[in-house]
Amino acid sequence: MITVGQFIRLVGIQKVLIRHGLDEIVLTTHLFRPIRFLMYLMPWNWRRRDYAPKEERILHALEDLGPIFVKFGQLLSTRRDLLPEELADQLAKLQDSVPPFPVAEAKRIIEEAYDRPVEEVFLEFDEKPLASASIAQVHAAKLADGSEVVVKVVRPDIETTIRRDMGLVMIIAELAEKFSEHGKKMRPIGVVEEYRKVLLDELDLMREAANASQLKRNFEDSNRLYVPQIEWDLARKNVLVIERIHGIRIDETDALEEAGVSRKEIAEVGIDVFFTQVFRDRFFHADMHPGNLFVIPATDSEPVKLALIDFGIMGSLSEEDQHYLANNFMAFLSRDYKRVAELHIESGWVPAGTRVDDFEFAIRSVCEPIFEKPMREISFGHLLLRLFQTAQRFEMKVLPQLLLLQKTLVNIEGVGRQLYPDLDIWETARPTMKRWMSEQTGIRHLFQATKENLPSWIEKLPEIPGAAIDVLEKMRRGDLQVRSDQEAYESLKREIRLSSERNMLSVVAAALIIAAALQFGVTDGALGKEMFLFWKIPLSVWILSIGGAVLFIKAWSKR
């Protein structure tokens, strides 16, 4: 149901569409074809008008519709798997820069947040904003101890505007998904809901502060990335105070050269920092465009650093998604397209019934032309995009976090190659990828997994004999109902078999660990010429312990 406010807004939107000639586009879509004759009855269409390409008209219409539509257009530009390439390129040009709201309003919000005058909170407060965007604007300030900070203030009534405008977009999405076959495939309701959540999340500056704090902790030992400090005592939902960064914007190449910064080095630092976030931490800054990237030149004691700001949009990957993503990259590098197809099915990104050979053929036809280029010209981001577009034909479920990853990768690659056109993305990322692979397959990973899971294994161990006895006792009394349904019967057989295998493996594993403990308790003299390894622990103890741990893992990983 459209509210009065939404109806008034809808009239305003229609005026903008007419001004840019987009009524023509709307009425010729599948949804409105039955009434498209109305286009010729409208007075403004009685004379021929020279229009720019429709992609440019959409761009300018979004700019005229205001900050929420600008932000939505920016976010929508990341869905290159759904949009025509020309339209996605135009939407990527949208600049999230809008006129500032009055400083008196900013001060009112700050004073309400802290329940005291601005002069008591800050030693200095610059009334001229440093930047003004659709969600918030930023002012420079100084704290009582002289520390330089920036104060981010959420726009007044912006939540009401977001809910109103996104409500209208949702109505259009519902109509498109209901009446248009193409709309059903694009799943516009899910897309709109996803971006509505992103916009509303950006209103919560406490969330942004937590993101910045986590990223800073992840790189606290790094000399390549600097994350500004949050002033937690002054953090509120609609006001954020954060350390001010003094650096050079990464796209100001002349200033970088004047400061003696190697453009090749800082481009490689940017790529390395991004892949470290993804493959070490599974938590990454998802808005790494030039406006959020600053360079801190080298000093006598510190190397050149990259500094990040604006932590409103962050991405994260599950361990499973990270695993499949890394193995996909490795399979692509070796042109093992069958493995790429298998990984997509194993991960659940495409339906389980997808034919591997069909999917493999589709991937090969897309990727082979890309690999004909020199390796330094191949783009990770472009490769992911082409993969998403191909997988759409196989009903791939594109996860939001993967889209954020692809969009950020395109950004950071673009910045890197603007700084240094011959940048080899693959070679720069290779050390991080190799380090991740070795950590996932090496003995260190085995010990870490054992350390994390051993308490739960030990906790479950006493339950195993009892559970097995319960099953056998129920079978003896006839309490276990055996259905004629073949699937249920097979499922029961599998459960009994797995239970039996787990019991056997668990008993053997426990015996090996007990033997290891007994062996470790033997005196050095009794061991004779026993070989020792790390921490002066006998080799036999290591073998027994690792054998027990491996059997425990095997027992409880059975499905």
The pLDDT tens digits of the residues spanning 66-85 come to: 777 887 787 777 666 567 77
Examine residue 426 and state whether it is found in any structural domain, yes or no. yes
pTM of the complete model: 0.69
Report for 292-306, 469-483, 500-514: range of highest mean pLDDT: 292-306
338 lies in the same domain as 412: yes
List, for residues 439-453, the tens digit of each pLDDT value. Answer: 665 555 555 555 556
Mean pLDDT across 121-146: 93
Q: What is the model's pLDDT at position 31?
A: 46
Is residue 436 located within the same domain as residue 447?
no
- For the cut 70, the answer to whether the pLDDT of residue 248 exceeds it is yes
Alpha helices in 53-147 (DSSP H): 54-65, 67-76, 85-91, 103-114, 118-121
Active site residues: 287
Domain count, the chain: 4
Residues 6+ apart with CB under 8 A from 62: 69, 70, 72, 73, 91, 94
| 272 and 360 share one domain | yes
Domain that holds residue 232: 102-155+204-244
Q: Within a 10 A sphere around the Cβ of 365, how many other Cβ atoms?
A: 11
State the Cα–Cα distance between residues 414 and 534, nearest whole angstrom.
47
CA distances to 174, 186, 285, 286 from 315, in Å: 27, 22, 6, 6
Residue 210 counted as domain residue: yes
Whether 415 and 307 share a structural domain: yes
The predicted-structure confidence for 26-41, as pLDDT tens digits, reads as follows 555 544 455 454 555 5
Query: Is pLDDT larger for residue 194 or for residue 499?
Result: 194
Measured CA angle at 130 (ends 128, 131), to 5 deg: 115
Residue 326 belongs to a domain = yes
Average pLDDT on 403-426 reads 81
Query: Which among 231-235, 391-395, 498-502 has the top mean pLDDT?
Result: 231-235
Phi and psi dihedrals of 154, rounded to 5?
A: -70, 140
Considering the domain architecture, whether residues 302 and 388 belong to the same structural domain is answered as: yes
500 with 425, same domain?
Answer: no
Radius of gyration of the chain (CA): 30
Residue 199 lies in a domain: no
Q: What is the mean pLDDT of the chain?
A: 77
Given a cut of 50, whether residue 525 has pLDDT beyond it is no
Indicate the pLDDT class of residue 352, thresholds 50, 70 and 90: confident
Ranges 16-20, 122-126, 497-501, 535-539: which has the least confidence: 535-539
Confidence at 133, pLDDT banded by 50, 70, 90: confident
